[in-house]
């Protein structure tokens, strides 16, 4: 039997006289009801009920949160059975003065019915005023990339820019570091580098979890929620997937879900609505991933609420191995001709060039109703990839970005191993912000370049090493890196003929990342097979390869290192590789060598960064 604080008071005995184990904690009353069902009554005055988590169990406990007897929400938590890996906070402040009861079913599968009272979680369920979010994973938590304070994150969602603030929402599990309880988390930034965590924006409701989507500023009040209201569209993921709407009248801080949700229903799985205002047609456009059909659906609307199907694109085209998810559609100028082209982003999973998740895109036209892709002279539609690393997925753009910028961010992971990477307090970071631009390759194809956002230049602190006009062949060039594993390296080199120039980042434990430019094949490769901890997934050790789209053999590289990530931008973003790494200690030097020929290093600067 567990005594509650109320019982203690009634008995008139002091806490110290009672055996400690008789109390789960002051103010938390725990009643085990037979085998796998437990009622937790919360009487306390604090702010959070602490929930202990053990990651190993896939069979999350189902917790019905009852407020004055009514189900307020249902959450799923891997409650600790034999040991606590970490804890997560459940906010009890909204329920002050009410009867708060957590009705918990611990094992839900038929094979997992067991005696829940032996689990360790009950002793550690306490009420606290503050939840400690101090970063305990200083080795791998990036310093200048966005990460959740704690818990799981996947896709970026609903990003918009307003009044100098970049709003970033994201797929978040508030109750653990694996995928679950999809909620729109929210962070804001004024410089795209430092992020401030905001309260969760949209929480699961009766229609299901809150999957990915987009937001717009309704400048003309077409929806009737008020001038400049923020309108968000997302997928309600319950038994089926439907599209729902929410709006905000306080610049995206809090959202009210639309009482008439869902606003779009189909008889097949479709998700991740991405909408924008079309100046030419004077109406809203929406692109929706028809996930299993591996195509995109297009809709139009006068008011963001009523949508009409206007076209489809993609069936049988491009990479078709995995589901199509998280589309985006925007117009850019081809700098060489001044012509405008539309870019359709189609994230796919699996089926990326190096396995698992990846971003393919199409270049073409959009007439306000449907997208048509440019074709090659032989009539085929080329498959293009935005990133030639393994760790950039679900990339989408900010709406209303200033100065006509098409600023984007991706989720810096891969569904193959995102839940297994060696971090626990938090899981996953976003990529660096990147500007989308078009370029024409020497063979006349139009591609998208991903250029590091200009704000990143402000990070540069000291030049810790540098070089100019060096012959690479026959020399072993070595440069030092900042001790904290946080750096930008900018370099330019020239290599022709059969030259293969290697760039190796290594630490004292001989853990390394080897990047090679192959002049003959005009490719850049990235080998992380010996980069550090790689054995948490068989899919992690990998060599990724990018075409460099370049005839001259002149290459410039910008490499961003941030503890557990490396982002390589070649020739102003014409080729990009984003790859995670988990070295036991930071890479301390960069070595440059060349196999054949007469490669030259024109310039090199290693910057420490001020973070």
Closest to 104 measured CA to CA, from 56, 59, 61: 61
What distance in Å separates the CA atoms of residue 127 and residue 50, rounded to the nearest whole number? 6
Give the residue with the Cβ less far from ligand FRU, 125 or 159. Answer: 159
DSSP 116: G
Give the residue with the Cβ less far from ligand FRU, 185 or 452. Answer: 185
**Do 232 and 291 contact (CB within 8 A), yes or no?**
no
Give the residue with the Cβ less far from ligand FRU, 211 or 549. Answer: 211
For every residue of 319-355, DSSP letters joined together read --SSEEEEEEEEEEE-TTT--EEEEEEEEEES--TTS
Strands 600-609 and 500-506: unpaired
Cross-strand pairs, 49: 90, 127
Give the residue with the Cβ less far from ligand FRU, 329 or 501. Answer: 329
Does 180 help bind ligand FRU (rule: CB under 6 A)? Answer: no
Q: Which two tokens stand for residue 95?
A: 């329920």
> By CB under 6 A, how many residues form the interface with ligand FRU?
12
Does 171 help bind ligand FRU (rule: CB under 6 A)? Answer: yes
Q: Which residue has the tokens 């963001």?
A: 304
Site for ligand FRU in 261-300 (CB under 6 A): 271-272
What distance in Å separates the CA atoms of residue 56 and residue 176, rounded to the nearest whole number? 12
Give the residue with the Cβ less far from ligand FRU, 410 or 433. Answer: 410
What distance in Å separates the CA atoms of residue 58 and residue 69, rounded to the nearest whole number? 28
Q: Which residue has the tokens 């799923």?
A: 76
**Do 526 and 505 contact (CB within 8 A), yes or no?**
no
CB of 520 to ligand FRU, least distance (A): 37
CB of 182 to ligand FRU, least distance (A): 5
CB of 210 to ligand FRU, least distance (A): 9
Site for ligand FRU in 526-555 (CB under 6 A): none
Give the residue with the Cβ less far from ligand FRU, 325 or 511. Answer: 325
- The side-by-side arrangement of strands in the sheet containing 229-237 is 209-218, 229-237, 241-248, 256-257
Site for ligand FRU in 195-224 (CB under 6 A): 211-212
Does 88 help bind ligand FRU (rule: CB under 6 A)? Answer: no
CB of 243 to ligand FRU, least distance (A): 11
Judged by DSSP in three states, 309 sits in strand
CB of 154 to ligand FRU, least distance (A): 5
Give the residue with the Cβ less far from ligand FRU, 183 or 399. Answer: 183
CB of 237 to ligand FRU, least distance (A): 7
Site for ligand FRU in 329-368 (CB under 6 A): none
Among 27, 325, 387, 465, binds ligand FRU (CB under 6 A): 325
Whether 191 is catalytic = no
Does 431 help bind ligand FRU (rule: CB under 6 A)? Answer: no
- The side-by-side arrangement of strands in the sheet containing 393-397 is 393-397, 407-411, 434-440, 446-452
CB of 294 to ligand FRU, least distance (A): 13
Among 4, 181, 215, 235, binds ligand FRU (CB under 6 A): 235
Tell me the per-residue interface mask from 142 to 161 with ligand FRU, x by CB under 6 A, - otherwise.
Answer: ------------xx------
Give the residue with the Cβ less far from ligand FRU, 79 or 289. Answer: 289
**Do 298 and 310 contact (CB within 8 A), yes or no?**
yes
Kindly report whether the peptide bond that precedes residue 262 is cis, defined as omega within 30 degrees of 0: yes
Q: Which two tokens stand for residue 193?
A: 């580098």
- The side-by-side arrangement of strands in the sheet containing 37-42 is 28-32, 37-42, 100-105, 61-67, 70-77
Cα of 563 vs its chain's centroid, Å: 17
CB of 144 to ligand FRU, least distance (A): 23
Catalytic residue among 155, 218, 328, 499: 155
Binding footprint of ligand FRU on the chain (CB under 6 A): 154-155, 171, 182, 211-212, 235, 271-272, 325-326, 394
């Amino acid at each position: 039997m567990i005594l509650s604080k109320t019982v203690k008071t009634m008995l008139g005995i002091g806490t110290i006289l009672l055996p400690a184990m008789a109390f789960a904690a002051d103010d938390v009353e725990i009643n085990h009801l037979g085998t796998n069902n437990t009622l937790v009554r919360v009487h306390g005055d604090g702010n959070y009920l602490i929930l202990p988590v053990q990651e190993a169990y896939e069979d999350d406990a189902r917790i019905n949160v009852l407020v004055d007897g009514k189900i307020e929400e249902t959450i799923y938590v891997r409650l600790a059975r034999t040991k606590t890996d970490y804890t997560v906070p459940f906010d009890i402040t909204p329920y002050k003065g009410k009867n708060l009861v957590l009705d918990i079913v611990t094992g839900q599968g038929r094979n997992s019915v067991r005696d829940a009272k032996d689990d360790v979680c009950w002793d550690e369920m306490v009420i606290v005023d503050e939840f400690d979010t101090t970063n305990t994973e200083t080795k791998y938590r990036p310093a200048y990339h966005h990460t959740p304070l704690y818990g799981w994150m996947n896709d970026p969602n609903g990003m918009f820019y307003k009044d100098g603030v970049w709003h970033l929402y994201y797929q978040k599990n508030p109750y653990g570091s694996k995928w679950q309880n999809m909620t729109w988390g929210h962070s804001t930034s004024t410089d795209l580098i430092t992020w401030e965590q905001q309260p969760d924006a949209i929480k699961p409701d009766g229609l299901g979890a809150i999957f990915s989507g987009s937001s717009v500023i309704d400048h003309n009040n077409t929806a009737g929620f008020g001038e400049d209201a923020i309108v968000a569209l997302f997928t309600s993921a319950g038994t089926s997937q439907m599209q729902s709407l929410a709006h905000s009248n306080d610049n995206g801080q809090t959202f009210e879900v639309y009482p008439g949700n869902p606003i779009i229903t189909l008889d097949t799985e479709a998700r991740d609505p991405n909408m924008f205002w079309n100046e030419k047609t004077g109406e809203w456009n929406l692109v929706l991933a028809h996930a299993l059909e591996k195509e995109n659906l297009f809709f139009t609307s006068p008011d963001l609420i009523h949508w009409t199907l206007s076209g489809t694109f993609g069936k049988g085209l491009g990479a078709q191995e995995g589901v199509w998810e998280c589309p985006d559609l925007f117009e850019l100028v081809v700098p060489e001709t001044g012509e405008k082209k539309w870019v359709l982003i189609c994230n796919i999973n699996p089926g990326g060039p190096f396995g698992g998740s990846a971003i393919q895109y199409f270049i073409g036209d959009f007439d306000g109703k449907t997208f048509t892709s440019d074709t090659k002279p032989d009539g085929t539609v080329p498959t293009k990839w935005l990133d030639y690393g393994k760790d950039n997925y679900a990339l989408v753009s900010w709406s209303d970005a200033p100065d006509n910028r098409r600023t984007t961010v991706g989720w810096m992971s891969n569904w193959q191993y995102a839940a297994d990477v060696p971090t626990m307090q938090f899981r996953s970071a976003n990529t660096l912000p990147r500007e989308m631009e078009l370029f024409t390759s020497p063979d006349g194809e139009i591609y998208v370049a991903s250029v590091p956002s200009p704000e990143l230049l402000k990070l540069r602190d000291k030049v810790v090493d540098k070089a100019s006009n060096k012959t690479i062949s026959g020399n072993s060039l070595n440069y030092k890196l900042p001790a904290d594993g946080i750096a930008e390296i900018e370099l330019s080199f020239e290599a022709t003929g059969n030259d293969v120039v290697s760039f190796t980042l290594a630490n004292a434990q001989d853990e390394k990342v080897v990047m090679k430019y192959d002049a003959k094949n005009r490719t850049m490769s990235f080998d992380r097979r010996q980069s550090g901890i790689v054995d948490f997934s068989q899919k992690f050790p990998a060599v990724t390869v990018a075409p460099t789209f370049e005839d001259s053999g002149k290459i410039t590289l910008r490499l961003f290192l941030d503890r557990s990530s490396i982002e390589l931008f070649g020739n102003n973003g014409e080729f990009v590789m984003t790859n995670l790494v988990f070295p036991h200690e930071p890479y301390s030097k960069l070595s440059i060598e060349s196999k054949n020929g007469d490669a030259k290093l024109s310039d090199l600067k290693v910057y420490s960064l001020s973070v």
